[in-house]
Structure 1
Amino acid sequence: MAATRSLSRRLESDPESIERDLFRLVLTIIELVRQLMEKQALRRVDDGSLTEEQIEGLGTGLMRLEEAVEELKGRYDLATADLNIDLGPLGMLLSD
């Protein structure tokens, strides 16, 4: 009986809080993918495997993605630090 009450308390949450937390998780995943894409793009630039047009396109795309993430963070009053998840002994999920 106590376990049922405990579970029901955890499930009862403010709908706005749930929406914000879910949005925070989605933005965390988007930010992680953006950072990975940026690192891969920099590796490809350093390798010389991209044309000037490809470099320009990647840079523009990454800048637009970063701007969109910043705008979305503003809607929910989130900072980049809010998106970072502590993975314990592995450290933080997102790089600075």
Structure 2
Amino acid sequence: MASRVLIFFIRHASLVRPLSESGKLRMATDMADFELAVGQNLLPVEQLRAPYRALRYSLWLDSQGEDQIWKGIKATLDDYAAKVRVRGDKEFSPVYPLMV
């Protein structure tokens, strides 16, 4: 349940765009409050692995400039493409060309 709650929060928070500077601060505060509530009432968030990392990756995005974000996205896409080639897959995910 704790994992699903974090995933849903991240999914819905990612739909809120664009954010003003005060909106970004509010979102960061909401994330911290949400993390605390889940940790106190359900399960320590550090034990949730991927959903917790996603929540932390979201906070990282808010703290970076646009140049750094695009560099990170490009590096992630390049890493994905390399893994597909190493596995010998014949095609990429349908989302890959859209992301590129």
TM-score between the two structures when normalised by the length of structure 1: 0.36
TM-score between the two structures when normalised by the length of structure 2: 0.35
Higher relative contact order (CA 8 A, sep 6+): 1
